[in-house]
Amino acid sequence: MAQIEETAALTHLEWDTPLFQTAIAQYEQAVPFADISEGVAERLRYPERAVMLSVPVRLDDERRVVFAGYRVQHSSVLGPTKGGIRYDTEVTLGECAALAVWMTWKCALLKLPYGGAKGGVRCNPRQMSQAELERLTRRFTSELLPVIGPQEDIPAPDMATNEQTMAWMMDTYSMQIGHAVPEIVTGKPISIGGSVFRHEATGAGVVMVIARACERLGWNLAEQRCVVQGFGNVGGIAAHELVARGATVIAVSDVSGGILDEAGLEIDAMLDFAKANGSLEAWESGRRITNEELLELPCDVLVLA
């Protein structure tokens, strides 16, 4: 019995969550088709490095709050690790580990000279001011300094982070190094070295894949009824691109819930509204539905963004 308990303790690691188990289960399905040794296969079942951080921040009301921060680097075999930084109340080490694994596969699939990483801070960014988010980002970057760098690990935007977040990260890192290092992050503003079309790239790329899938299936994308889960950097752009290609987006959702209109939603007006108000919570057109109901709606295309 003691030996069984010891084995369980050695095999159950801190990032071993249901999401991470899903990522590894997918990996196990692919391993038999990969020309790699068992030693390499075993190494890729685990992240190379997982960092947990305490991120103390002064809030606008002068309270001091310590947030939990994470950065997981899965594999640097192909090059520096690469992956987003997310701010959300549900960020965990296990989530970051799973997403880092998937980043490795995505980079390898496209033969990019990068490995996978992912990180974030467990917070509620929708309840924080711009000044608080800046202080959070700069302190998080300072804590990450020993493990990030253009040749080590390159952050990028993700959930509830954007080009402004990346500008803060770049500025903080550069101040510590002593000169400007724009290559420390991707997804930064064009004015400080960012790439044209970076903001739209992920959402537009999703729709490009959908269009190719429709071609292979013999479907006309302009005739399809679409549902988009998520209305941020990816989902909002994807919804816009779908409408631009003639498709009808009947439902979208964000953190405030879902909105349904069988005749088609006014996506561009909703994007402007969400940008001005932070969410679609006060949007009045259409019928309110839950995020769970949205996933069960009859549709031709479901985008999980």
- Active-site positions? 118
Alpha-carbon distance of 94 to 99, in angstroms, equals: 9
Adjacent-strand bridge partners of 257: 254
Residue 80 CA: distances (Å) to CA of 110, 140, 157: 15, 20, 17
Catalogue the E-assigned strands of the chain. Answer: 49-58, 64-73, 81-88, 115-122, 153-157, 225-229, 248-254, 257-260, 287-289, 301-304
Beta-carbon contacts of 269 under 8 Å, excluding residues fewer than 6 positions away, are none
Beta-carbon contacts of 288 under 8 Å, excluding residues fewer than 6 positions away, are 257, 258, 259, 260
Q: Are 47 and 97 in contact (CB under 8 A)?
A: yes
Nearest partner of 207 among 172, 245, 173, 180, judged by Cα: 245
Tokens of 278: 């932070």
Angle, helices 130-144 vs 163-177, to 10°: value is: 50
- 195: phi then psi, degrees, rounded to nearest 5: -95, 140
